[in-house]
Chains A and B, each alone.
Chain A
Amino acid sequence: MAAATIAVPDFSLSPRVDQVGIEERAARFTKRSIKKETKINGLLLTLNMIDLTTLEGKDSEGKVKQMCYKAKHLLDIYPGLPTVAAVCVYPSMVKTAKKAVEGSGVKVASVATGFPSGQAPHKVKIADTKFAVAQGADEVDMVISRGKFLEGEYNFVFDEIASIKEACGDTRLKVILETGELVTFDKVRKASDIAMYAGADFIKTSTGKVTPAATMPVTLVMLEAIRDFYYKTGKMIGMKPAGGISKSKLALHYLVMLNEILGEEWMNNKWFRFGASSLANDVLMQLMKEKTGVYQGRDYFSLD
């Protein structure tokens, strides 16, 4: 089914979100008490959903290679651990990363379209995307033009996403809304709708460069948008909260929320990712605690 056969709605009519209500609902998920086998399964699933990320000006091939090794070997003394879902890098590092994770099943995601600001000419954004794809990226994480969105130029934002999707071809496209710059839940909801109807395979909260990054209420707004889109079109869309999730307990709260909003079909790394760099080690620490009964110091877990 092509996106073209889905009727595009009037985005000015996107559902409204009540701030107090959404925050209360998000807080309710944190009341679930996750114990024993549910906790261990949740922690293993969390590891398997992580997009291990390095997006810095000082990224080098050496840094990327080391991170890729970690992606494949999270903690070798713990048998049976999954790998992370993907490594997430700049386009210039895709080739290096691709080679480093070869054969492991770990995917390579590349940010593109003038990440993180998105303030680049259209041609450059297309070229940036095509370069990442040509280098072998399995997934592209684009940013929307927040300035245009806030100006009310929704058609511009829609067309831009659609053209990037076209440039991606079969490569899965994650659309970063940068919710910290959209500020209100109403705008997050509207941007989610635009991104999904324009062809996003995933919607993602943040670049990690703006505070606040992912929060539970913002993620909940996006999950509810995904649910409504699914009901209208039958098409599943993935979700990726990114930035600010560094503790296992918080990751488990997110999984509870996913489980109770979208259900079990979304509970895998095809449809849900955590964009995080420090989360993996906290999860590993908790898993070792469950196994041995005692916490180990941070230095027992490799940095990257």
Chain B
Amino acid sequence: MARNNTLKLKFDSARKYAPAPESRSAAKIKDQYELFINGKFEKPLGKKYFDTINPATEEKLSRIAEANEADVDKAVKAARSAFGVWSKMVPKERGKYIFRIARMVQERARELAIVETLDGGKPIRESRDFDIPVVGNHFFYYAGWADKLEYAFPNRNVQPLGVAGQIIPWNFPLLMAAWKIAPALATGNTVVLKPAETTPLTALLLAEIIQEADLPPGVVNIITGAGATGAAIVNHPDINKIAFTGSTDVGKIIQRAIAGTGKKATLELGGKAANIIFDDAPIDQAVEGVINGIFFNQGHVCCAGSRLYVQESVYKEVVRKLKDRLETLIVGDPMDKNTDIGAINSKQQLDQINKYLKIGVKEGAEMYQSSVDLPKKGFFCRPTIFTNVAQSNRISQEEIFGPVLTIQTFRTDDEVIEKANNTPYGLSAGVWTDKGSKIFNMTIKLRAGVVWANTFNQFDPTSPFGGYKESGYGREGGLHGLGAYVTLSNVV
């Protein structure tokens, strides 16, 4: 009879399902996309284009217009002139337009999911079951607020800010566009939005939807480009508010750039979330929560639970179960309906992750990766866990933004609170315990914008989201999300 510690379950068959690919032909991608300015698709004044590729195959998907300063200026002017119409429109009518966008997103959900997966590399299961449905929900939710602002802010006079410049990341391309656009429109602002250069396609499909929904020209402008385009938006003098989701480094640059200009800002930046398992936790569900917390969207999630803290008495059991579960994760073609972990978004990001894997090994941490075979082409990374990690290791301090989990142990509640808070970030945290009172004790003491209890990575349009410290400021979602797009004065 084999002894406990050498026993191993065999999962070779668990990854060998026959291919079940989503049909690519259900979505049409044009050869070339222009800038969406003032309700029309316009060629870039600089006549420059860049390619967007499929990170799972490295094949070119389309050519995308690159907006220069003059294009940005055109877009901001369009937004400014539309602001007059949009901010004075009867709120109920504004709501109708947003409801229309929500319905059209739902109608075109399959197509949007396919394009999101092709352009960004995330598994079709996630874009189909998470990203696109939540996009629809977000527009529906804020559409409902459009004519109820006086109830959101009772006894206050609510005014929109003006033109919002919005810059969004590549990890949830369409969802971040929805997070930004929906509350801005509901409160009567107009928008210039720039998607990330590696994932512009779904935002451009959203531009088509907005055009078809017959929004007044210039209310939403979607322009594409890289960092220089983003800088031109941030520095444009006629912008009233910057909403940015992305890296902490860029967030700091933006903050410096707008200092003293009177522009308002919400910044949603990096994270290094602690996920904490106590010994009285429902272990199997906690393990599953940890897996979803770090491997969801290849770990390209700012609130990913990348630092796992396990109470010492259950450490061995948790690690064994994590390794078991790792073996059943299917890594590969994002378009296959059975894929759990898709492609890393770009070569650059894959290099970044691999750099940290090397650092981790060099720091003396023990690296464990699943035995899954990776596709020959495209950017892929095995799900990875590091044990024997110290609080002072770089892999447990810096944001890796990939499928990499570090595991540390702790003994007491106070110790884990101190360790969990010992980070420059503060976006999210997770607590796993069967004891209600412990949950409340932890949520009070953890300095993080969102604390999940016995679950992780749950998002809802009605719930505010945002960070502490270097994770940024301002809240998106829910009632709080409206507050970021209005000025309030007392009713006289």
Question: From residue 165 to 212 of chain B, which have CB atoms closer than 8 A to chain A?
Answer: none
Nearest CB of B to A3, in Å: 13
Taking a contact as CB atoms closer than 8 A, the residue among A1, A33, A260 that contacts B20 in the complex is: A33
B10 in contact with A263 (CB, 8 Å) = yes
Interface centre among B12, B14, B280, B454 (most CB of A within 10 A): B14
Nearest CB of A to B473, in Å: 31
Nearest CB of A to B126, in Å: 10
Interface centre among A18, A38, A39, A233 (most CB of B within 10 A): A18
Nearest B residue to A39 via CB reads B18
B282 within 8 A of A: yes
| Bound Cα distance from A263 to B12, whole angstroms | 8
B328 within 8 A of A: yes
List chain A residues, Cβ under 8 A from B10: 263-265
Question: From residue 219 to 270 of chain B, which have CB atoms closer than 8 A to chain A?
Answer: none
A155 within 8 A of B: no
Question: From residue 223 to 268 of chain A, which have CB atoms closer than 8 A to chain B?
Answer: 224, 227, 230-234, 259-260, 262-265, 267
Contacts A263-B11, A264-B11, A264-B12; is A232 near B285 (CB within 8 Å)?
no
B375 within 8 A of A: no
Q: Which of B1-9, B32-40, B87-95, B404-412 contacts A (4 or more CB under 8 A)?
A: B1-9
List chain A residues, Cβ under 8 A from B363: none
| Bound Cα distance from A22 to B1, whole angstroms | 31
Contacts A32-B338, A36-B18, A39-B18; is A265 near B288 (CB within 8 Å)?
no
Nearest CB of B to A59, in Å: 38
A124 within 8 A of B: no
B320 within 8 A of A: yes
| Bound Cα distance from A232 to B1, whole angstroms | 12
Nearest CB of A to B364, in Å: 28
A234 in contact with B454 (CB, 8 Å) = no
B17 in contact with A34 (CB, 8 Å) = yes
B320 in contact with A17 (CB, 8 Å) = no
List chain A residues, Cβ under 8 A from B3: 234
List chain B residues, Cβ under 8 A from A224: 284
B14 in contact with A231 (CB, 8 Å) = no
Total contacting residues, chain A, CB less than 8 A:
33
List chain B residues, Cβ under 8 A from A230: 7, 9
A38 in contact with B1 (CB, 8 Å) = no
B320 in contact with A231 (CB, 8 Å) = yes
List chain A residues, Cβ under 8 A from B18: 34-39
A33 in contact with B337 (CB, 8 Å) = yes
A32 in contact with B17 (CB, 8 Å) = yes
B284 in contact with A260 (CB, 8 Å) = no
List chain B residues, Cβ under 8 A from A22: 284-285
B455 in contact with A21 (CB, 8 Å) = yes
Contacts A16-B282, A35-B20, A264-B12; is A231 near B4 (CB within 8 Å)?
yes
Nearest CB of A to B282, in Å: 4
A18 in contact with B320 (CB, 8 Å) = no
Nearest A residue to B433 via CB reads A16
List chain A residues, Cβ under 8 A from B337: 31-33
| Bound Cα distance from A40 to B478, whole angstroms | 47
| Bound Cα distance from A21 to B458, whole angstroms | 12
B19 within 8 A of A: yes
Question: From residue 1 to 42 of chain A, which have CB atoms closer than 8 A to chain B?
Answer: 1, 15-18, 20-22, 24-25, 31-39
Contacts A35-B19, A263-B14; is A1 near B1 (CB within 8 Å)?
yes
Taking a contact as CB atoms closer than 8 A, the residue among A17, A32, A233 that contacts B282 in the complex is: A17
Nearest A residue to B5 via CB reads A231
| Bound Cα distance from A38 to B284, whole angstroms | 27
B280 in contact with A20 (CB, 8 Å) = no
| Bound Cα distance from A200 to B298, whole angstroms | 41
B17 in contact with A260 (CB, 8 Å) = no
| Bound Cα distance from A35 to B338, whole angstroms | 11
Taking a contact as CB atoms closer than 8 A, the residue among A21, A35, A265 that contacts B9 in the complex is: A265
List chain A residues, Cβ under 8 A from B14: 259-260, 263-264
B125 within 8 A of A: yes
Taking a contact as CB atoms closer than 8 A, the residue among B1, B129, B455 that contacts A31 in the complex is: B129
B20 in contact with A18 (CB, 8 Å) = no
List chain B residues, Cβ under 8 A from A259: 11, 13-14
A234 in contact with B1 (CB, 8 Å) = yes
Taking a contact as CB atoms closer than 8 A, the residue among B4, B13, B320, B434 that contacts A234 in the complex is: B4
List chain B residues, Cβ under 8 A from A36: 18-19
B289 within 8 A of A: yes
B454 in contact with A21 (CB, 8 Å) = yes
Nearest A residue to B289 via CB reads A21
Nearest A residue to B10 via CB reads A263
List chain A residues, Cβ under 8 A from B286: 21
List chain B residues, Cβ under 8 A from A33: 17, 20, 337-338
B283 within 8 A of A: yes
| Bound Cα distance from A14 to B399, whole angstroms | 37
A25 in contact with B13 (CB, 8 Å) = no
Task: Map CB proximity to A onto B455-468 as digits: 1 under 8 Å, 0 otherwise.
Answer: 10000000000000
B285 in contact with A260 (CB, 8 Å) = no
Question: From residue 278 to 300 of chain B, which have CB atoms closer than 8 A to chain A?
Answer: 280-286, 288-289
List chain A residues, Cβ under 8 A from B1: 1, 234
What are 21 of the A-B contact pairs (CB < 8 Å)? A15-B283, A17-B282, A17-B284, A17-B285, A18-B282, A18-B285, A18-B454, A20-B455, A24-B288, A25-B288, A33-B20, A33-B337, A34-B20, A35-B19, A37-B18, A38-B16, A38-B17, A234-B1, A259-B13, A263-B9, A265-B9
Which 10 A-B residue pairs are closest in the complex by CB-CB distance?
Answer: A21-B285, A33-B20, A33-B337, A263-B9, A18-B282, A36-B18, A38-B18, A18-B285, A264-B13, A260-B328
**A interface vs B, CB < 8 Å?**
1, 15-18, 20-22, 24-25, 31-39, 224, 227, 230-234, 259-260, 262-265, 267
